[in-house]
Structure 1
Amino acid sequence: MKLAHAAAALLALTATPAFAKEIVVKMKNQGAAGAMVFEPAFVKAMPGDTVRFVPSDPSHNAETIPTMLPAGVVSTKGGMNKEFVLPVKTPGLYGIKCMPHYSMGMVALVQVGNGPSANLAAARAVKLPPFAAKRMTPMLAQAK
């Protein structure tokens, strides 16, 4: 009987992604870094994790920046005032923006894996609106 319970417990552990986690990022009108922000704006995740962008205030969306993604990853877009779920499978850097507030600097960066990120140089070379670039530059400096 104990062996059957141990086998069932082992099966339950191997059937679920025990190490995958969900990271929540809030889309806010006002935060620690000023107006129109993602909090946190820089996220480290591992392949298999999910990053969930949640609108804390109205008038936001989250979408990937097409020129700031790992090779082979397709750009995706969330709806206005809707949660945006970003399942991350490929290591690298994922740039995120709120389209209505992109020029106001509402950007985020998700680093997947422990690095080095194959697309780091390409991400640093992406041309962003001035305020978005001002916010993204320190995040890219933290990335590996």
Structure 2
Amino acid sequence: MKPGKVKFPATKKGYDAATIKDVLPEGAAPFRRRLNQEVDITCIEEGFYGIICTPHDDMGMVMVVRSGDDHFPG
């Protein structure tokens, strides 16, 4: 599997992006982008990465990024 890259551009003020604790593939490194900063991450481990905007988590601003061919359980 080739690593995948994800870009979080800083297009509006007041947003960030951070991994959700315990919603990462085994061996994946957590990250947190600071407010108003662009960041590129490389998803090396295959699986699902839970990402949240910490200032807006109460509004449900979350996402899941899939790396590789892993599938949702079930």
**Fold shared per TM-score above 0.5:** yes
Aligned residues between the structures: 74
CA contact (8 A) 2:28 2:44 kept: no
**Distance in 1 between residues matched to 2:59 and 2:39, nearest whole Å:** 20
Kindly report which structure 2 residues correspond to 1:1-144, keeping only aligned pairs within 5 A, or say none.
47-116=2-71, 120=72
Q: TM-score of the superposition, structure 1-length normalised? A: 0.47
Fraction of identical pairs, as percent = 32
Counterpart residue type for residue 87 of structure 1:
T
Looking at CA atoms only, which structure, 1 or 2, has the larger radius of gyration?
Answer: 1
Q: TM-score of the superposition, structure 2-length normalised? A: 0.87
CA contact (8 A) 2:18 2:52 kept: yes
Q: Which has the higher strand share?
A: 2
**Distance in 2 between residues matched to 1:98 and 1:49, nearest whole Å:** 20
Instruction: Indicate the RMSD between aligned Cα atoms, in angstroms.
Output: 1.8
Counterpart residue type for residue 27 of structure 2:
G
Gaps of 5+ in 1: 1-45, 122-143
CA contact (8 A) 1:97 1:107 kept: yes
Counterpart residue type for residue 32 of structure 2:
K
**Relative contact order, higher structure (CA 8 A, sep 6+):** 2
Q: Closer, same or farther in 2 for the Cα pair 1:47/1:65, shift >3 Å?
A: farther
Gaps of 5+ in 2: none
